[in-house]
Amino acid sequence: MKRLLLILLILFAAFMPGCAEEEGSDVAGDGTEVRVVRVIDGDTVEVEGGERVRYIGVDTPETYPQLEYYGPEAEAMNRELVGGRVVRLEKDVTDRDRYGRLLRYVYVDDVFVNAELVRLGCACASAYPPDVKHQQLFEQLEEEAREAHRGLWQ
């Protein structure tokens, strides 16, 4: 029952006019291009303007508060892919997570960063409905990384 209520609340917030995007945010729109100013960990960055962006559909091992296996490698790969670069942000359904971070798919040039992290074995596919537009791709890439013993799956 709690899960159903949570899903309904998320859907309600996502489809209410004026509620999906925070007023004054320059990076809330779909297709926005913005520079990454800091890589926080393997699946979270800070962009110009101070917004934190959490990658949708993937989860990397933590580096803080507790260091997890392959966390530093995932963070380093994320830094290599997006550090200091201009990225394009794509929204799914939900605008922000419970910590206030923007939830986005991230692209740099022609690289789909969320998918690339999974393909390289730096991240696991991690579905959080209703944001599941690319989840099938992420799950396929995780299976391929596991079979090839890449990254986390060595």
Average pLDDT over residues 96-114: 97
* Mean residue pLDDT across the chain: 87
Asked whether residue 16 is assigned to any structural domain, the reply reads no
Q: What is the pLDDT of residues 3-19, one digit of tens each?
A: 443 344 444 444 433 33
Q: What SS3 class is residue 127?
A: coil
**Residue 118's pLDDT band (cuts 50, 70, 90):** very high
Residue 44 belongs to domain spanning: 26-153
- 62 part of the active site: yes
Among 21, 46, 52, 62, the one annotated catalytic? 62
Q: DSSP characters for 129-144?
A: TTB-TTHHHHHHHHHH
Query: What confidence score (pLDDT) does residue 27 get?
Result: 58
Domain count, the chain: 1
- 73 part of the active site: no
Task: Return the CATH number at 114.
Answer: 2.40.50.90
pTM of the model as a whole: 0.82
Among 54, 96, 104, 119, the one annotated catalytic? 54
Among 96, 101, 104, 119, the one annotated catalytic? 101
**Closest by CA position to 106, among listed 19, 41, 36, 26:** 36
Q: What is the pLDDT of residues 14-38, one digit of tens each?
A: 443 333 333 344 556 678 999 999 9
Asked whether residue 146 is assigned to any structural domain, the reply reads yes
Query: What confidence score (pLDDT) does residue 13 get?
Result: 46
- 147 part of the active site: no
